[in-house]
Chain A
């Protein structure tokens, strides 16, 4: 969401010689719009790093071999302010990641959406407080 806006702002900013931009790096430089993917796997590690989290997810191939994918997500600090911790999404959680693979073809991706096994989107809930209040995943 708001990526249209972000791009528009960035383009305008460049045109005007303005230095203020939203993101601190360009995702489209890193990940390939022509390589959309849908990964299903188990959380191995969540690096809660600002400004971008890295989720390490074990994904089985058709032969049963587990590949460790690294998936980039958003800044965790607002999630932490909302009460989310590493225990909220414990190691072993089953996730489906919708995103785009790295341009260099390695097992890295940007996680457009993180979806839980029951179909709910991770960190999204229905209570009041904003467009998408986070919920703790039990």
Chain B
């Protein structure tokens, strides 16, 4: 194995710094709030949105259609040691640079972490493509400390029970049924709702028709078809991987409420009774303000809210042929069997 040379890394650093310097300063000018915001104040992008009116679809809905990414360097929770809610443009630029350089670090040959392909080589480091920027220090805007509220005793108990059930089922590579749902291509872990930054390929397509909004997620091609015609939520026994969503327009904002999750793709350990309320507001031709609130008294001490910017990006959404010509699962299970055989031989040899 060959590590990226030091001179190459230095060159990379300079190029990255120049590139990010150019882009974040523009973003800072565009999105800097007029005054420091508080947790309850309208976010900078929403404030800017008051002056902006989205184009309309033929049936008069605000037009959210197109290709969007929620790739961002803003962390969900505010980093320890950071006390402010909004960075200055210079601070935001420095935070992005630091995070981008951490992503570009080489791993050590001969370590488990090195058994992978190079993200940068395939254009998958976030700074190599469009990513959404703002000046926030965390996506979480409420609670005001930018942290997920404490997990309730019931939520902790559920996490333990889920872990125990997984353990009782055996090793995760003992059988295909034990493998993570993302590896089985059922759904991307954490696909939501709410929409979460997948880390790479964090791309979405929104299509609107009369009475419906469709959101297609690139990672494992999850689709939500959201009625916006006022119909009620189905009865509680009807449950789906991505829950059931119902939408409505509040002025310029698409509000989507989702319940009826099946609990098998729990958002951050939530119960199946999780309620997610999402608010999509187009605040510029190239920006959607995406805000979500999660409520699950069985899991968190209080509801919490985050705002994750979405930036316009290039389409189309590419097919996610998740099973990779059927190589993926077969190779992983073959690897597990090879490990077992080796372990058995070693045990035999030591006896």
Contacts and interface: CB of A to CB of B under 8 A. Distances in A.
B185 to A, nearest CB: 8
A112 B116 contact: yes
Contacts of B332: 25-26, 29-30
Contacts of A123: 121-123
B261 to A, nearest CB: 12
A111 B16 CA distance: 25
Contacts of B115: 3, 27-28, 31-33, 100, 110, 112
Contact of A131 (B15, B268, B324): B15
Contacts of B182: 21, 24-25
B4 to A, nearest CB: 8
Nearest to A49: B321
Interface in A82-117: 82, 98-100, 102-106, 108, 110-114
A19 B111 CA distance: 24
A43 interface: no
A132 B162 contact: no
Contacts of B173: 29
Interface residues of A, number: 72
A38 B185 CA distance: 31
A25 to B, nearest CB: 4
B113 interface: yes
Chain B contact-residue range equals 35 or more
Contact of A103 (B110, B128, B190, B339): B339
Given A76-B122, A124-B120, A132-B121, A25 B328 contact: yes
B69 to A, nearest CB: 11
A102 to B, nearest CB: 6
A5 B218 CA distance: 22
B301 interface: no
Given A22-B200, A131-B15, A51 B121 contact: no
A107 to B, nearest CB: 12
Nearest to B313: A81
A126 interface: yes
A121 to B, nearest CB: 6
Given A17-B268, A75-B122, A81 B116 contact: no
Interface string B100-125: 10111111011111111111111111
A105 B339 CA distance: 11
Contacts of B339: 103
B337 A104 contact: yes
Contact of B163 (A17, A51, A105, A106): A17
A7 B182 CA distance: 16
A18 B190 contact: yes
Nearest to A38: B1
A101 to B, nearest CB: 10
B334 interface: yes
Nearest to B105: A1
A131 B96 CA distance: 13
Contacts of A81: 123, 129, 314
A5 B324 CA distance: 24
A123 to B, nearest CB: 5
Interface of B: 1-2, 11-12, 15-16, 18-19, 100, 102-107, 109-125, 127-129, 159, 162-163, 173, 180-183, 185, 188-190, 196, 198-201, 218-220, 265-269, 314, 318-322, 324-325, 327-328, 331-332, 334-339
Interface of A: 1-7, 16-33, 36, 38, 47, 49-54, 70, 72-82, 98-100, 102-106, 108, 110-114, 121-124, 126, 128-134
10 smallest CB-CB distances across A and B, nearest first, come from A74-B122, A20-B190, A130-B128, A19-B189, A103-B335, A77-B318, A78-B123, A17-B269, A3-B113, A103-B338
Given A78-B200, A131-B16, 9 more contacts: A2-B103, A4-B107, A17-B268, A28-B115, A29-B173, A54-B324, A103-B334, A124-B121, A131-B104
